[in-house]
Amino acid sequence: MTSVTTLTLPQNQLAMAISNPGALGTIDAYISTVNHLPVLTAEQETALARRLRDEADISAARELVLSHLRLVVSVARQYLGYGLPHADLIQEGNVGLMKAVKRYDPERGVRLVSFAVHWIKAEIHEYIVRNWRMVKVATTKAQRKLFFNLRSMRPDGHTLDPVQVDEIASKLSVRSEDVREMEVRMSGREMSLENQDDDEDAYAPIAYLSDEGRSDPMQVLERQAVDRMQGEGLVQALDKLDARSRKIVEARWLQDEGGATLHELADEFGVSAERIRQIEVAAMKKMREALTV
């Protein structure tokens, strides 16, 4: 049997490197650590994959994962433009890597790196869709495909002309209308409602908004329902959670200036970042059910 070089990172750091990118200190320390892990040869990789498949050898799975953590760092770096924490992107990519290792078949003649990159990207995509506000409108398969490809496919970053729209639609197998709609969404920018200079006569969008006091009854009722859900309803939904789940939701989503990351909460509660994510998902589901009652 082909000999396999055992990875030399201490056992306590092995677990931390996989489950929590922040556990080794700064994100730079984590990246430096994983970049120094040995790269497996094709023969070593095949031997480990067979041990995992035939003997359910967990140590073989761990070595396969660790040797490819640098791949996750490289892939996650491609998604920094979405404004999400690098450590969280890496954590989600690590989940995809572990899923890939579990499903990897060494007999197909394909290296693990080629197989795993698709699983890593899939997990990161799902994380971005769950957390990036603008993408919450990208719910269909076509919209997601456009969101993750349109930015790089625009030739000069400027508005697409009809020919370019049709070309992109053809390449991605979507409708031209979908391309135009997603381009508008991704090109949107925030606009201040207040006047930004000292000229009192200058245009200010807030001056042209409708008078709240003249809203029709249906708008008033809808606004009252929203206020109830955001106030009393939110408090009641939070009361449905256990203490740990409530603290996680509040730390992640109810802070005035930025929420805690998965790995920060993992350090606080002494569990993996993946466990924090699972608790968060379950808590959000319970709160949605409470709000719709």
What's the pLDDT tens digit per position in 236-270? 778 888 999 989 988 887 776 667 888 889 888 99
Give the pLDDT confidence score for residue 291 in this predicted structure: 67
What would the two tokens of residue 117 be? Answer: 């990159």
Residue 82 sits in the same domain as residue 181: no
Residue 168 sits in the same domain as residue 255: no
Give the pLDDT confidence score for residue 136 in this predicted structure: 47
**Residue 275 to residues 266, 267, 269, 279: CA-CA distances in angstroms?**
8, 11, 10, 6
**Domains held by the chain: number:** 3
Average confidence (pLDDT) over 59-73:
94
CATH number, domain with residue 81: 1.20.120.1810
Q: Any idea which of 68-77, 82-91, 222-231, 277-286 has the lowest mean pLDDT?
A: 222-231
CA distance linking residue 31 with residue 74, whole number of Å: 10
Residue 1 is assigned to a structural domain of this protein: no
Burial of 237 (0-12, 13-18, 19+ CB in 10 A): buried
Residue 223 sits in the same domain as residue 241: yes
Query: At residue 273, what is the residue type?
Result: A
Give the pLDDT confidence score for residue 158 in this predicted structure: 64
Give the pLDDT confidence score for residue 186 in this predicted structure: 65
The rounded mean pLDDT for the chain is 76
Average confidence (pLDDT) over 52-69:
93
Residues 6+ apart with CB under 8 A from 219: none
Residue 74 sits in the same domain as residue 162: no
Residue 162 sits in the same domain as residue 89: no
CA distance linking residue 46 with residue 48, whole number of Å: 5
Is 80 exceeded by the pLDDT of residue 101?
Answer: yes
Average confidence (pLDDT) over 96-106:
94
CATH number, domain with residue 284: 1.10.10.10
Summarised one tens digit per residue, pLDDT across range 108-142 is 989 999 999 999 999 998 888 777 554 444 556 77
Residue 21 sits in the same domain as residue 105: yes
What residues make up the domain containing 59? 11-130
Residue 164 sits in the same domain as residue 271: no
